[in-house]
């Protein structure tokens, strides 16, 4: 799938991994709607991207992924402005074990909400032209991160949703591929804030340090390349792609007998 002229929407686009995904899409000729709750960071980023890639290539909208109304508005504005919607990067997420319901709401409930609303626009069965959805999961969706049980649960949920919805899309003829990217530790604001976000399990930060020493830390650019592969490789659907420094692996799951 060539990206030139394709139209993408990225949630949590103002910072970190979402910002790197946005830049990767623009570098390859796509137009991008940036969505984020952080209006200042989003507007500033859009202004600098417009200088680099041209005025007509980006659109920023303040959008909280917990709001169905704001997501619908953002998709309608994208289609009105750019003429369609081919790619969704379902990326916004938080890590805050002391606010477990908020974490489930943003990291799992909203990922499902945004994907379902995007499928209404993108599915060939409802007048869309097909495309691809990338859900940002985590290595914590593949194995336990003991300091963060709630975060771990949400990311396992994102991977389960991706695999099942990818299969459902293929079986139904939506024409939309759905994949999950599963990075290990990535140097972003979310990662820097961890010690203050573990709540009652803050004494387990030592375990995080051990895992960080074992797996290393990625830059956001090191996530952008495998992300690009998941977007463009038309053979990939329902996949979970693990990314840690010097290792990129499509995960195989045990089958039932
Ligand atoms: N940093 C890491 O080590 C890893 C992060 N991830 C995942 O990557 C995704 C992005 O995380 P980072 O870039 O690290 O975080 P970040 O904190 O640097 O960026 C997240 C962005 O999402 C936005 N956001 C938060 N809540 C939102 C909401 N309700 N609606 C719309 N936007 C919202 C924030 O304003 C921010 O701009 C998350 O889903 C995270 O769980 C996955 C694996 C590793
Ligand atoms: C505490 C920092 C969280 C930062 C945000 C993240 O999403 C980073 C996730 C990083 C690491 C996660 C988990 C480690 C899991 C291990 O238990 C292990 O079982 C994973 C094995 C993966 C595999 O090789 O299949």
Q: What is the ipTM of this complex?
A: 0.97
250 is catalytic: no
**pTM score above 0.95:** yes
Q: What is the mean pLDDT of the chain?
A: 97
Residue 255: pLDDT band (50, 70, 90) is confident
Residue 178: pLDDT band (50, 70, 90) is very high
Residue 257: pLDDT band (50, 70, 90) is confident
| pLDDT tens, position by position, 61-71 | 999 999 999 99
- pLDDT score at 137: 99
Q: For residue 163, report the distance from its CA to the centre of ligand 2, in Å.
A: 19
Structure tokens at 113: 């909400």
Structure tokens at 34: 């940036």
Where do the domains of the chain lie, and which CATH numbers do they carry? 7-243 (3.40.50.720)
Mean pLDDT calculated for residue range 141-146: 97
Q: For residue 184, report the distance from its CA to the centre of ligand 2, in Å.
A: 5
Mean pLDDT calculated for residue range 104-120: 98
CA–CA separation, 154 and 32 (whole Å): 26
Ligand 1 contact via 28 beta carbon (within 6 Å): no
């Amino acid at each position: 799938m060539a990206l030139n002229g394709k139209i993408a929407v990225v949630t949590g686009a103002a910072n970190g991994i979402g910002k790197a995904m946005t830049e990767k899409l623009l570098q390859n000729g796509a137009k991008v709607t940036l969505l984020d709750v952080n209006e200042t960071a989003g507007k500033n980023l859009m202004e600098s991207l417009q200088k680099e890639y041209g005025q007509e290539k980006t659109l920023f909208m303040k959008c909280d992924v917990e709001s169905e109304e704001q997501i619908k508005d953002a998709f309608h504005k994208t289609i009105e402005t750019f003429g369609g919607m081919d790619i969704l990067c379902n990326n916004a997420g938080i890590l805050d074990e002391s606010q477990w319901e908020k974490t489930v709401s943003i990291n799992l409930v909203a990922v499902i909400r945004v994907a379902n609303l995007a499928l209404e626009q993108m599915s060939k069965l409802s007048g869309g032209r097909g495309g691809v959805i990338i859900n940002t999961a985590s290595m914590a969706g593949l194995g336990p991160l003991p300091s963060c049980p709630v975060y771990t649960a949400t990311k396992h949920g994102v991977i389960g949703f991706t695999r099942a919805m990818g299969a459902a899309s293929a079986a139904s003829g939506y024409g939309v591929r759905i994949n999950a990217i599963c990075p290990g530790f990535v140097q972003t604001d979310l990662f820097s804030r961890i010690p203050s976000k573990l709540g009652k399990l803050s004494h387990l930060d030592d375990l995080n340090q051990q895992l960080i020493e074992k797996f290393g830390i990625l830059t956001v650019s090191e996530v952008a390349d495998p992300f690009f592969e998941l977007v463009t490789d038309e053979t990939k659907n329902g996949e979970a792609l693990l990314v840690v420094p010097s290792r990129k692996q499509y995960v195989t799951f045990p089958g039932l007998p």
